[in-house]
Amino acid sequence: MSMIRKVMSEPKFATFLLVSVLFGLGWILDEFFSINFFWPGYVSIIVFYGLIFYVASNVSPESSKDPMLARKSLPLWLAVFTMSATWVGGGFINGSAEYTYSSGLVWVQAPWGYALSLILGGLIFARPMRDKGYTTLLDPILQKFGTNKSILYYLPALMGDVFWTSAILVALGTTFGTILGVGPELSIVISAIVVIIYTAMGGLWAVAVTDVIQLIILIFGLLLTLPFLLKTDAGVIAVWGEYKKDWGAAASFFPSKTALGNQWALWWDYALLLVMGGIPWQVYFQRVLAAKTSKVAVRLSVVSGFVCLVAAVPAILIGIVGFTTDWQALGLPLPPDDSSILPHVIRYLTNPVVATIGLGAIAAAVMSSADSSILSSSTLTVWNVIRKPSDLVDPKKLKPNLKKAIWIIGITCTLIALNVRSIYELWVLCSDLVYCLLFPALVTALFDRRANGVGAVSGFVVALFLRLGGGEPVFGLPPFLPYPMDVDGTILVPFRTIAMLSGLTTIVVVSRLVKVKS
C-alpha cells in the first residue's frame, strides 16, 4: 500500500493518470454518447491541464509548508505574474470583449478600473498591511473592532469569492460549450477537479507558479489570434471607423452625456466600485502579504495594474471584430449571446490550429482566477473562523484544515455553477457589499486610531440599509428609499457610493461619540 501511495504521489505518474482519464472520458462520450467533440480543442485542454497539474505537483515540500502565504517569500517577478493572472481572469477577458461588442467602449470599465484599483491598493494599503505582518484581509478589521464582529465581515468576503469562482466556472462551461459543441457541465466538472486538486496540493506557491504559465499562454494565445482577425480587405482603420460610426460617442472610454444619457450616475457608481471596491478582497491581499518585503508589495501592485491594461487590449479588439463582422454574409452562425462573443470569434474567424491555441488561452484565464479565489476564501475560513485567536500559529497544523476547506469550498462552487444560472448577478451583488461594507471598515481599521467596534457595527448597518434601499433584482427587492429615478426605474444617483461614504462617515462619527474601553 505504501508503495502504491509513493507511486501515486510522483508528479509524472499522477499527471499521466490525469491525462489518460481525460482522454478516456472524451473517447467514451464521443463513441457511446454521440457527442461530436471538436477534438483539437479538447486535446488542447487536456495538454494544458496536464502541464498545469505537473508544474503544480512539482512544488517543493519546503515551499508548500506555508500554503497560505508561501512563507512570505514571493519575489517581485513571481508576485506580479500571480497578481496579474488572478485579475486578468475569464470574467475580465470575456467581459471586456462582451461589453465592447454589446455596449460600446464607454462601458468597458474593468480594464482601467481594476488597474487603478491595483495601483491605489499598492500606494495606500499594501505597505501598512505588509509591515504589520497580517495574514488575511480581515486581520486588521477584527483586531481593531473585535473578533466577535468577524461574522459581519467574513460573510460578504466569503460570498464574494464563492460566487466569483462559480461565475468563472460557468463562463468556462459556456466557452468550452461554444467551441467543443458540448454542454457546459462536463467542462465545469473537469476544470473544477483539476483546480481543486493542485490548489490543495501546493497552496499559494503552487497557484503562483502555475499563474506564470497561465498568464504567458493567455497573452500569447490572444495575440496569436489578432493577425487572423484583423486581416481584412478593408483594413484595421476601416474596421475601427465602422465601429466608431455605429456606436458614436459610446466608442470611447471617456464618459459623456451623449453616450450615457440618464445612466451617467450609474456609470460613475460602477467606476468607483471597481476602483475602490476592488481593494478589499482576500485574493488581492493574499499576494500583498506573501511578498518578500513591503517594497515588493507596493511594486507588485503598481506593475500589475499596468499589466491589466495591456492584457485587455486583445479582448477589446476581438469585441470590435465581432461587432463589425457580417456573420450572415460569411455564412457563419450568429453569436448565441453577447457573453459568447470571444470564443465565437476565435472559433469561426480563425483556423483550427489558432482556435485551439486560443481555447487554451481562455482556459488559462479562467483557471488563474478560479484557483486563487478558492484558496483565498479557504484561507479566510481557516484563519479567521476555524482557528481560535489563542491558538499558536503553526502552518503545519493549519495545513490539513486548509486542504479540507479547499475541497469543501471548491465543491460548493462547482455545485452552484452546475445548478444556478444567475451567478453573475449574485457576484455583482457581493461586489456591491464588499464595496459598501468592507471598504469603509478596512480604511478606518488601518488609518483611524479612534475607530471602534460600536462605530464599525453602526457603519455596517447604515451602509447595508442604504445599499438595499436601492433595490436588488436578484432577490426581487424593489427600491424602498426615495432615490431619484427616471420613468424606466433607473436610479439617477450613485447610491452604492452614497452607501459606502455614509458607512465610512458613520464609523468615524459614532466612534468619537461612543468611546469604548480598549
3-class secondary-structure state, position 36: coil
146 is written with which cell numbers? 473585535
Residue 433 above 60 pLDDT?
yes
Cβ–Cβ < 8 Å for 226, 322: no
Please give the pLDDT value at position 34: 61
Q: Tell me how far apart the alpha carbons of residues 361 and 44 are, in angstroms, rounded to a whole number.
A: 10
Residue 2 above 50 pLDDT?
no
> pLDDT band at residue 49, thresholds of 50, 70 and 90?
confident
Domain end (from 415, 430, 447): 447
296, part of any domain: yes
Please give the pLDDT value at position 498: 96
State the residue range of the domain holding 452: 448-518
Average pLDDT over residues 43-65: 74
Average pLDDT over residues 336-359: 82
Exposure string (b/e) for 396-432, b if CB count within 10 Å is 16 or more?
eebbeebbebbbebbeebbebbbeeeebbbbbbbbbb
Same domain, 371 and 502: no
Please give the pLDDT value at position 452: 92
Tally of structural domains, the chain: 2
Please give the pLDDT value at position 198: 81
329, part of any domain: no
Please give the pLDDT value at position 232: 58
Same domain, 506 and 363: no
* 374 alpha-carbon distance from chain centroid: 10
Higher pLDDT, 365 or 493: 493
Higher pLDDT, 45 or 310: 310
Task: Using alpha carbons only, give the angle 480, 482, 486 rounded to the nearest 5 degrees.
Answer: 105
Same domain, 307 and 435: yes
Share of the chain above pLDDT 70, in %: 88
Please give the pLDDT value at position 7: 45
Same domain, 163 and 50: yes
468, part of any domain: yes
Average pLDDT over residues 360-365: 71
Domain end (from 447, 482, 506): 447
258 is written with which cell numbers? 451623449
Please give the pLDDT value at position 505: 97
Domain end (from 387, 412, 447): 447
pTM for this model (two decimals): 0.89
Residue 391 above 60 pLDDT?
no
155, part of any domain: yes
Q: Tell me how far apart the alpha carbons of residues 99 and 103 are, in angstroms, rounded to a whole number.
A: 5
Higher pLDDT, 137 or 213: 137
Average pLDDT over residues 221-230: 83
186, part of any domain: yes
Q: Tell me how far apart the alpha carbons of residues 329 and 316 are, in angstroms, rounded to a whole number.
A: 23
Supply the DSSP string of 232-277, one letter for each residue. Answer: -SS-HHHHHHHHHHHHGGGSSSS--HHHHGGGHHHHHHHHHHHHHH
Please give the pLDDT value at position 167: 80
What's 74's domain CATH number? 1.20.1730.10
Please give the pLDDT value at position 39: 75
Same domain, 425 and 471: no
Residue 472, φ and ψ in degrees, nearest 5: -150, 105
**Conformational region of residue 34, where left means phi above 0, alpha means psi within -120 to 50, and beta covers everything else:** left
Same domain, 118 and 84: yes
Same domain, 462 and 431: no
26, part of any domain: yes
Helices (H), ranges, 103-149: 110-120, 127-131, 138-145
Same domain, 430 and 352: yes
> pLDDT band at residue 425, thresholds of 50, 70 and 90?
low
Structure confidence by residue, pLDDT tens digits, 7-38: 445 777 778 888 888 788 777 776 766 666 66
Higher pLDDT, 3 or 40: 40
Which of 190, 224, 448 lies closest to 356 in space, CA to CA?
A: 224
Same domain, 14 and 159: yes
Same domain, 244 and 316: yes
Count of CB atoms within 10 A of residue 108's CB?
Answer: 22
> pLDDT band at residue 396, thresholds of 50, 70 and 90?
low
11, part of any domain: yes
> pLDDT band at residue 138, thresholds of 50, 70 and 90?
very high
Say how many residues make up the chain. 518
Which of 491, 504, 420 lies closest to 456 in space, CA to CA?
A: 504
Q: 367: which residues sit within 8 A by CB, 6+ positions away?
A: 52, 191, 194, 195, 210, 214
Average pLDDT over residues 255-282: 90
Residue 180 above 70 pLDDT?
no
Average pLDDT over residues 287-315: 93
Average pLDDT score over the chain: 84
Q: Please, what is the angle between helix 150-180 and helix 352-381, to 10°?
A: 160
Same domain, 514 and 371: no
468611546: which residue's cell? 515
188, part of any domain: yes
Same domain, 420 and 296: yes
Which of 285, 259, 210, 225 lies closest to 108 in space, CA to CA?
A: 259
